[in-house]
Chains A and B, each alone.
Chain A
Amino acid sequence: MLNNNCSSSLLFRGPGLAFSHSIATTCNKRNTCWKAPQAAVRNDFCLPMSSSAVKNRTSIGDIRSLRLITAVKTPYLPNGKFDLEAYDNLVNMQIANGVEGILVAGTTGEGQLMTWDEQIMLIAHTVNSFGNKVKVVGNAGSNCTSEAIKATERGFAVGMNAALHINPYYGKTSLDGLVAHYNSVLSIGPIIIYNIPTRTNQDIPPSVVQNLAQNPNLVGLKECVGNERIKHYTDQGIVVWTGIDKTSHDARWDFGAVGVQSVASNLIPGLMRELMFEGKNATLNSKVIPLFDWLSQEPVPIALNTALAQLGVIKPVFRLPLLPLLVEKRIEFVMLVKEIGREHFVGDKDVQVLDDDDFITVGRY
């Protein structure tokens, strides 16, 4: 998704958001709670896009009960367009192996490289094809509030069950701006907040989350800071998924996480399901940790893209700025597949190393 996108084709104004008070901020030099300026909200008579037809009957509780959500990879044709046949096959394998939710166009799905029309198409396609078998969570977040609002409304209009929302990255804002941003989209439908400071360079502090948790549309949090933070939330009754595969077993069984929003489940959905559902299993966890390490050696989803191509379930096509792992890493992956067992991985072709010139990279598409 073109996350810098602020389409001006629709000058659409809804009721202004209510402004929240009393945000504690670490930037405040005085030892007092900093209170947000009571900036006026411009009211006007344009209405938000809404529909009375009930497209989906998913409750907040249904979303909260999901334990295994896969941040599914988006496969490409050689010209850089979506390969929907390969995508459908990926989603079907996820469903068959017990995955309960699909995150569409997330970081792993390369949402930041999509146009909005591609992204909404993919969400709608997923709902239409699989919406009765798996919950569809659309990544509708952006660092632009206007874009986040529009993408969220559109996503719910095509029937997604929940939206994932990152805090504004790169063009960072104040904590007060953070609350204003989130309140703009929380009124639209069920929202999962996503905190990954290694990518955004801004941690969403517990004080902000607790403030937002007062809104009934807050489903929970996808948290990447670590298990201590997860426990801090789950002890307060806030639902959390870990976003880190490597710590997900412990998060689930020792720190109160409801489950995982996973990258690795793209490859081994059955084993991830076992980790989340079948009780503590330190043996299985340590068996798959080398795979988790391999997957995270370069920014997600570089290694995942490489691995799925080696397994023959997607074409070896990369949208820039992502590029495949080099040949020695690909050889390592073949070894990992042998050690864990090919039968646990998606697809049924023999895993290949692939030559460098098998890969296609596209900058214009």
Chain B
Amino acid sequence: MATLKSLCFRGTAFPVCPSNVTNNRNSRSSYWRPAQAAVKPNFHLPMRSFELKNRTSPEDIKALRLITAIKTPYLPDGRFDLEAYDDLVNMQIGQGAEGIIVGGTTGEGQLMSWEEHIMLIAHTVNCFGGKIKVIGNTGSNSTREAIHATEQGFAVGMHAALHINPYYGKTSLDGMLAHFQSVLSMGPTIIYNVPARTGQDIPPHVIQTLAESANLAGVKECVGNDRIKQYTDDGIVVWSGNDDQCHDARWGYGATGVISVVSNLVPGLMRELMFGGVNPTLNSKLLPLIDWLFHMPNPIGLNTALAQLGVVRPVFRLPFVPLPVDKRIEFANLVKEIGREHFVGNKDVEVLDDDDFFLVSRY
């Protein structure tokens, strides 16, 4: 996402916190200590306002059980379809979702400009902030961007921030800590660990260090349920980021809830999974749908499904492209098996022809 080029904004540099972070590459059997790099103090001040735009505490975020990583729908020219978006959010609220991630991976935040993204966060706060917690995905692999986006997201009233560790342009564990600590002071924060996408696992000792901050609401964890248990046993709040594991995570491993993709489609059933007690029957009923959704990298399956349900237009921003017709037929069958009434929208599910889809490369 583009940084706001017009604003050359320099705030007070933050202190680099020394910590005993174990580095796997350290050839000596001792704790590795980060370089005590000096911080250049200067007289620019951080962007700040004492007006209380939202009174959400980290505890309010910690209490959320069902958070939907909401899909961002598009108009045929690739711009946001806000009418469809509002319908999606209203359906989530209507069926009991308690929080939404705006511009997450599922929401295709990585394909947004920062102006679009901040607009969508602000729009969501403005229209729905009284009914659902709004969590902006203001993380980045650039610390500069993460700082700017997070300050701006909280300024427009988001309740919490979701922060990934720097992907692709990876850093050391010490750099990872410095990155997170540069944004943690801004407001309630959920740390997101998905090594299958970032190429770098956030190790438990980094999380334990960050957990010393009151602003850490918890972790969205995708490594698996054993990792979740390790954290929840330590009193750290965790949401599962894996729909196929979230039932067991919630009832067997101490997870507070889920940050979900599949709740975009069946929010009521996901609410039941998170609130209604152990229900392996319902879980196994949903697993084929979840498997179908993740046949290709998310959100390809979800984008295709929502178009088939008639709640979003069949428009894809590249590099995503829809699933092929045989997969779309499979989805129509899954909807019949689970029951159309459990899915969002009310139109009959369609298979759609290949030429119904629009691929947009420039927008």
Interface residues of A (CB under 8 A from B): 2-9, 11-14, 16-17, 19, 27, 34-42, 46, 78-79, 107, 110, 112-113, 115-117, 143-146, 149-150, 166, 168-174, 176-178, 180-181, 184, 198-201, 297-299, 302, 318-327, 356-365
What DSSP secondary structure best describes chain A's contact surface? Answer: loop
B175, B355, B361: the one within 8 Å of A16 (CB): B361
CB-CB under 8 A for A201 and B196, given A171-B111, A364-B9:
yes
Chain-A contact segment, one of B142-150, B282-290, B333-341: B142-150
Q: With A and B bound together, what is the CA distance between A175 and B132 in angstroms?
A: 36
Report yes or no: A201 in contact with B198, Cβ–Cβ below 8 A.
yes
Chain-A contact segment, one of B30-38, B58-66, B81-89, B210-218: B30-38
Q: Which residues on B sit within 8 Å (CB–CB) of A39?
A: 316, 321-322, 354-355, 357-359
Known: A2-B145, A8-B363, A37-B321; 15 extra A-B contacts, CB below 8 A, are A3-B141, A6-B2, A6-B112, A27-B295, A39-B322, A113-B143, A143-B168, A171-B319, A173-B297, A199-B199, A322-B172, A323-B37, A356-B37, A361-B37, A363-B13
Of all chain A residues, the one with the shortest Cβ separation from B174 is A323
Number of interchain pairs (Cβ within 8 Å): 283
Shortest CB-to-CB span from B96 to chain A, Å, is: 28
Q: With A and B bound together, what is the CA distance between A327 and B25 in angstroms?
A: 15
- Kindly supply a per-residue 1/0 record for chain B positions 257-287, scoring 1 wherever the CB is within 8 Å of any chain A CB and 0 otherwise: 0000000000000000000000000000000
Q: With A and B bound together, what is the CA distance between A302 and B172 in angstroms?
A: 8
Report yes or no: A14 in contact with B172, Cβ–Cβ below 8 A.
no
Q: Which residues on B sit within 8 Å (CB–CB) of A318?
A: 37
Q: Which residues on A sit within 8 Å (CB–CB) of B321?
A: 36-37, 39, 173-174, 176-177, 180
Report yes or no: B108 in contact with A171, Cβ–Cβ below 8 A.
yes
Report yes or no: B325 in contact with A37, Cβ–Cβ below 8 A.
yes
Report yes or no: A320 in contact with B362, Cβ–Cβ below 8 A.
no
What DSSP secondary structure best describes chain B's contact surface? Answer: loop
A116, A201, A325: the one within 8 Å of B197 (CB): A201
B324 at the interface (CB under 8 A from A): yes
Of all chain B residues, the one with the shortest Cβ separation from A107 is B169
CB-CB under 8 A for A322 and B171, given A42-B76, A178-B319:
yes
Report yes or no: A34 in contact with B324, Cβ–Cβ below 8 A.
yes
- In B1-46, the 8 Å CB interface with A consists of 1-3, 5, 9-11, 13-14, 16, 25, 32-40, 44
Q: With A and B bound together, what is the CA distance between A25 and B166 in angstroms?
A: 28
Of all chain B residues, the one with the shortest Cβ separation from A14 is B362
Shortest CB-to-CB span from B59 to chain A, Å, is: 28
Of all chain A residues, the one with the shortest Cβ separation from B12 is A364
Report yes or no: B113 in contact with A112, Cβ–Cβ below 8 A.
no
Q: Which residues on B sit within 8 Å (CB–CB) of A357?
A: 36-38
Shortest CB-to-CB span from B6 to chain A, Å, is: 11
B323 at the interface (CB under 8 A from A): yes
A3, A117, A150, A177: the one within 8 Å of B319 (CB): A177
Shortest CB-to-CB span from A217 to chain B, Å, is: 16
Q: With A and B bound together, what is the CA distance between A8 and B105 in angstroms?
A: 19
